[in-house]
Amino acid sequence: MSKFLERHALHEITRDLTLAAQGKLKADTVIKGGLVVNVFTKEILPADVAIYKGRIVLVGKADHTIGPNTKIIDASGFYLTPGLLDGHMHVESSMVTVTQFARAALPCGTTTIFMDPHEIANVLGLRGVKLMVDEGKNLPLKVFATMPSCVPSAPGFEDAGTVITPREIAEAMKWDEVIGLGEMMNFPGVLAGDENVHEMLKITMQSGKVVTGHYSIPETEVGLQAYAASGVASCHEGTRKEDALARMRLGMYNKMREGSAWQDIKATIKSLTETFVDDRRALLVTDDTHPHTILTLGHMNHVVKRAIEEGMNPISAIQMATINTAECFRVSHEIGAIAPGRCADILFLRDLADFNPEIVMTDGKIVAREGKLTTEIKALNYPDWALNSVRIKRELSASDFEIKYGGPEKEVTIRVIQVVEARVNTFHKTAKLKVHDQRIEADPSQDLAKVAVVERHGGPGNMGIGFVGGFGLKRGAVASTVAHDSHNLLIMGTNDADMAFAGNVLHKCGGGMVAVCDSKVLALVELPIAGLMSDKPVEEVDAHVKALDEAWRKLGCTMESPFMTMALLSLPVIPELRITNRGLVDTLNFKFVDLIV
């Protein structure tokens, strides 16, 4: 049992809870006068809530549970809902540590997360995962983890900082806080019967834990069915109504995603609002959320609100972020509802549609009021080995980014990674570029920038290079060590000199994201922990991210959250064309392709 549940483990206090429900032991706290949202029956019922040792013992008339030392909370005018659960997310995408994330997310009503620390695993391996899991043990935010399954995400197509094998999976499954296997992105390996992949599935299921999925192609007639047959229980990669329906009809949990850059709910929620399909297999998740989104829009409360805005019944939307998620991960006896025996994670709201909790309670204690944390959370000092992870062979130079062409043609056809704002998918396009002095350069007039991925984990030191369209860069360069999923050094720019300069800046500071022009830094977000996270407060990191966003605009990009879209250019498990440190990858056919057609 996880540490936060060990405080008063259900199996150890059954007698006490039973006696407290009858008033034979008096409640620690009683919430009176509220309207309880019952996520089992889709009812709103006036009821008191009695709490003992951090757990709910009674929902109804609770006068008999009140003693001289019982704390009374007046909930008149409030709806009471369970705390919100995020069923799939990467803390690293918030650019802060688990502790700093908890400080930001708890006031939004997120009381439990099921994190996939896949990003840090690609850089620091199993001990990086353990670092984040241990950090989450003693927080008022409940932190479950799924063990990353695909490191690297596409073996043979990229180089990560380490390799996760079935041996590491078996070790992690012994940890109480690890609740399942992280998103199985290697769905081609599942379908092809890859022995290592299926060994991971076997180890997880033998441990009695859940396998989470990632099936990112639209085919559903055979491949998705085979994927589901392997025991994969859920998927968050559906972006269409049809994708969501297909997964739910197969008995999978369909996770509807609404993060900072990937905003799928508008389409996927139609699988429920335009049909009579049962919503018990539908979950709401964030996947990736950066600081500005949390501070301005919220976290899981924003996702619930978005579902309601798109026509979802408010109670159904709440179910999709509470009990459905708890059932997906087989912990509904512990969390996800306001009901006897469950942890007293409760939100106080004036309006269910405008989902902004005024009071947030976890384990029977108020931890936030009116958007502000009211409890102290101690920060964790990260060890030195987690802080020095950008290891490239040598300082980069402009010549490293030259694309030479020795043919007689004055114009060539090149492959282009075409991005679309707020979409995870890219498109495999072509374009024509002039050849100057046997070199092919970026062409801002066609919205074509160069893009390169440099291996940065102290390995082969190789580099893949290509072209990308859709960002609108007119000048300068940008770079990031947040580059899914291997998190190598990703550099994009309009000229070779600035690309080299941007990469060297991140090498020197230990990682992060930067925008430069004419060999001058316009904005820098330092992320020294694995090149992915900062231990600074979310507000401070957000200020730097805002400056970075403004710098992108000065370079010509008007896209929202462009650095998050950029970070997926190197992810070789999502259609259609990507780039890794080994070259251009056709991710529909899983093969390398030449830059020049």
Q: What residue segments make up the domains of the chain, in order of their start?
A: 85-332, 386-592
CA of 293: how far to CAs of 105, 172, 261, 368, 512, in Å? 11, 31, 10, 19, 19
Q: CA-CA distance, 38 to 47, in Å (whole number)?
A: 10
Q: What is the pLDDT of residue 7?
A: 67
The single-letter code of the amino acid at 322 is: T
User: What's the number of CA atoms in the CB half-sphere (13 Å) around residue 524?
Assistant: 19
The DSSP letter of residue 381 is P
pLDDT at 1: 46
CB contact at 8 A, 162 and 125? yes
- Compute how many other C-beta atoms are within 10 angstroms of the C-beta atom of residue 309: 13
Whether the Cβ atoms of residue 388 and residue 539 lie closer than 8 Å to each other:
no
Q: Could you give the CA distance from residue 190 to residue 202 in angstroms, rounded to a whole number?
A: 12
Q: How far apart are CA 492 and CA 149, in angstroms?
A: 29
Instruction: Indicate the burial class of 194 (C-beta count within 10 angstroms; 0-12, 13-18, 19 or more).
Output: middle
Report the amino acid identity of residue 202.
K
In contact, 282 and 324? CB cutoff 8 Å? yes
Report d(CA 221, CA 369) in Å as an integer: 48
pLDDT at 2: 54
> Rounded distance, CA 411 to CA 414, Å?
10
What is the per-residue pLDDT for 479?
98
**Element at 99 (helix H, strand E):** helix 98-105
- CA pair distance 257, 199, nearest whole angstrom: 29
At 560 the pLDDT is 81
Nearest to 139 by CA among 95, 172, 177: 177
Closest CA to 111 of 121, 119, 101: 101
Rounded to whole angstroms, the Cα distance separating 563 from 544 reads: 13
**Digits of tens for pLDDT over the chain (597 positions)?**
455 566 679 999 999 999 999 999 999 999 999 999 999 999 999 999 999 999 999 999 999 999 999 999 999 999 999 999 999 999 999 999 999 999 999 999 999 999 999 999 999 999 999 999 999 998 999 999 999 999 998 889 999 999 999 999 999 999 999 999 999 988 989 999 999 999 999 999 999 999 999 998 899 999 999 999 999 999 999 999 999 999 999 999 999 999 887 789 999 999 999 999 999 999 999 998 989 899 999 999 999 999 999 999 999 999 999 999 999 999 999 999 999 999 999 999 999 999 999 999 999 999 999 999 999 998 888 999 999 899 999 999 999 999 999 888 999 999 999 999 877 789 999 999 999 999 999 999 999 999 999 999 999 999 999 999 999 999 999 999 999 989 999 999 999 999 999 999 999 999 999 999 999 999 999 999 999 999 999 999 999 999 999 999 999 999 987 988 899 999 998 889 999 999 999 998 989 999 999
CATH of 85-332 among 3.40.980.10, 3.20.20.140, 3.40.50.920, 3.40.47.10 = 3.20.20.140
The reply to whether omega before 485 is within 30° of 0 (cis) is: yes
The whole-angstrom separation of Cα 476 and Cα 493 is 6
Rounded to two decimals, the pTM is 0.92
143, two tokens: 């932190």
Picking from 581, 110, 115, the residue whose alpha carbon sits closest to that of residue 300 is: 110
242-254 burial code (b ≥16 CB/10 A, e <16):
ebbbbbbebebbb
As to burial, measured by CB atoms within 10 angstroms (0-12 exposed, 13-18 middle, 19+ buried), residue 589 is exposed
The Cα 84–Cα 26 span in angstroms is: 28
From CA 347, how far away is CA 361, in angstroms rounded? 6
Which distant-in-sequence residues (6+ apart) come within 8 Å of 574 by Cβ? 216, 237, 424, 425, 426, 568, 587
- DSSP letter at 223 equals H
